[in-house]
Amino acid sequence: MEDPSARPNLRDWRDALLELLFPGSHLCSFCWQSINEQKIRGVCSRCTAKIMALGRVRTGGPAGRIVSVAPYTGAYREMITEFKFSGRLELGKPLGYLMARKAVSSGLAARGTVLVPVPLHPSREAERGFNQSSRLAREIASLLGLRCDEAALKRVSYEKNQTRLGKWERAANMRAAFAADQERSEGIAGRSILLIDDIVTTGATLEACAEALRRSGPAGIAALTWAFGVAKNNFQPGQEEGG
């Protein structure tokens, strides 16, 4: 039997036109097929199953377990790029939904867990108009009934282009970039913290965030990202983690 998703047919084009006219209508953001499920998350059950099999888990650093949903390639890369740089904020729904599913299947969504998005530097946030990690964290928190503490971490310095720095210089530079904001935070002492970012490459950003938060006495720290960078990715400044 021919795979119905392999080749665009007339219905796909009709749906694509609908999507252009009415963004966020009942179409899967990945395969553009109509979604019949009652709860519309912007991704069909077939794509959900496929994407849930792609994840990666990294362990061993100060950020504990770093769980990622998909590789930073192809449609998975396009999706987050469009969300971040083209202002297609409606994509936060399917991205957040898939990240929430991954959090549950990876045991990262226990009751009482507090979601903490990786902050952008205020000047970059002002330039973009939003922090993509905060948007994702809010979506995941609302789906899972968890608290999202956007004030727990703050960005304290704007690191220069790091592409020419060595691994250790980058890490030291990154460590100075985040601080726990105990005054504005709603409290993370004794809580399980789930750091949220759009992408992980070296892990330096999440490790710096984890080290900053550790001073506030959380019960444990783990991290969840949409994408994980793979060696062949040629990252541009600003596309990297923490940007």
Which chain residues interact with Zn ion by CB under 5 A?
28, 30-31, 44, 47
CB of 109 to Zn ion, least distance (A): 23
3-state DSSP assignment of residue 82: helix
| Cβ distance to Zn ion smaller for residue 43 or 206 | 43
Give the separation between CA 126 and CA 109, rounded to whole angstroms.
30
Give the separation between CA 209 and CA 116, rounded to whole angstroms.
9
Which of 132, 141, 139 minimizes the C-alpha distance to 197? 132
| Cβ distance to Zn ion smaller for residue 8 or 220 | 8
CB of 138 to Zn ion, least distance (A): 24
CB of 76 to Zn ion, least distance (A): 13
| Cβ distance to Zn ion smaller for residue 34 or 233 | 34
Give the separation between CA 117 and CA 139, rounded to whole angstroms.
11
Backbone angles phi, psi at 126, to 5 degrees: -65, -40
> Using CB atoms within 10 A of its CB, is residue 131 exposed (0-12), middle (13-18) or buried (19+)?
buried
Q: Copy the structure tokens of residue 190.
A: 């004794």
| Cβ distance to Zn ion smaller for residue 79 or 136 | 79
| Cβ distance to Zn ion smaller for residue 12 or 159 | 12
CB of 57 to Zn ion, least distance (A): 24
Alpha helices in the chain (DSSP H): 10-21, 45-52, 74-85, 92-105, 122-128, 132-144, 167-175, 204-214
CB of 144 to Zn ion, least distance (A): 22
